[in-house]
A and B are shown apart, each in its own frame.
Chain A
Amino acid sequence: AQTVTQSQPEMSVQEAETVTLSCTYDTSESNYYLFWYKQPPSRQMILVIRQEAYKQQNATENRFSVNFQKAAKSFSLKISDSQLGDTAMYFCAFMKLWGGLSGNTGKLIFGQGTTLQVKP
């Protein structure tokens, strides 16, 4: 069974600075996806960034980037130029593609989350 671990329950960062959230996972699968989701206090879960396991290049989305280390099973999220609106709980998630009739989807396995506070 796959597991996802986020070892930092809470973190804080000053506005405009850079912060890195860590995530490790355990799987015997070779083809999978990893995600970071953001959940602000309003509770709407928002997809921040995705990484395909077979791609060595780290994904980037504007101020968000990942450091994907497949051999080490590590998937950290770097937020550059932090903004007050980045304050939220961040979840790392693993997904094995089911394929077949289910196509390019699968169930998400989430970590415990990291609460990030951006301070003015």
Chain B
Amino acid sequence: GAGVSQSPRYKVAKRGQDVALRCDPISGHVSLFWYQQALGQGPEFLTYFQNEAQLDKSGLPSDRFFAERPEGSVSTLKIQRTQQEDSAVYLCASSLAQSRLSSVGQYFGPGTRLTVT
């Protein structure tokens, strides 16, 4: 597609429910990132994939958070047993790992706003 897409755009979950958030990166982008953005704050890094390999998951806040990208394209961020503090916008971004230095940068999707009640 032309840009990064994410679904659903909005998700309301009751505390304790599991949720799954989907990201479709720009075609051909091997690098994929997930970020968490609390209200009024800057995004914070969660995890990074290069193709299907999860090379950095240092930002995942707890073992309730799990991400996968089994075929190196679409990625899913799963949150188990959601808590109120998980309420945030979850942003996905993709980039070319071997872009020219003059074109370095990540391209973001519209995000999924998760509200845990």
Binding site for B on A (CB under 8 A): 4, 33, 35, 37, 42-47, 50, 52, 91, 93, 95, 97, 101-105, 107-113
Find chain B residues with CB under 8 A from A103 CB.
31, 96-99
Check A102 against B31 for contact (C-beta < 8 Å): yes
Residues 80 to 105 of chain B near chain A (Cβ within 8 Å): 89, 91, 93, 95-102, 104-105
Chain A residues within 8 Å of B100, by CB: 104
Q: Is the CB of B99 within 8 A of A104?
A: yes
Write out the residue numbers on chain A whose beta carbons fall within 8 Å of the beta carbon of B18.
none
Known A50-B105, A102-B31, A105-B106; judge A91-B42 contact (CB<8 A). yes
CB-defined interface of B69-87 with A at 8 Å, one 1/0 digit per residue?
0000000000000000000
Contact of B104 among A104, A107, A109 (CB under 8 A): A104
Please, could you name 8 A-B residue pairs with CB atoms under 8 Å apart, sorted by A?
A: A44-B110, A47-B106, A91-B43, A101-B55, A103-B96, A104-B101, A105-B95, A113-B42
Binding site for A on B (CB under 8 A): 31, 33, 35, 40-45, 48, 50, 55-56, 59, 89, 91, 93, 95-102, 104-111, 113
- Check if A43 sits within 8 Å of B42, measured CB to CB: no
Shortest C-beta distance, A3 to chain B (Å), equals 11
Q: Please name the residue on chain B nearest to A97 by beta carbon.
A: B104
Residues of B within 8 A of A50 (CB): 104-105
C-alpha gap A62/B97 in the complex (Å):
26
Residue of A at shortest CB range from B4? Answer: A44
B97 touches A104 (CB 8 A): yes
Interface centre among A91, A95, A105, A109 (most CB of B within 10 A): A105
Shortest beta-carbon contacts, A-B, top 8: A110-B42, A103-B97, A45-B108, A107-B45, A103-B98, A105-B31, A44-B110, A47-B105
Instruction: Given A107-B48, A112-B41, A113-B41, check contact A43 B110 (CB 8 Å).
Output: yes
Whether A47 and B42, one on each chain, are in contact in the complex, defined by CB atoms closer than 8 angstroms, is: no
Q: What residues of chain B lie closer than 8 Å to A44, measured between beta carbons?
A: 108-111
The reply to whether B106 and A108 form a contact with Cβ atoms under 8 Å apart is yes
Which chain B positions have C-beta within 8 A of A107? 33, 45, 48, 56, 59
- Note all chain B residues with C-beta closer than 8 A to A46: 108
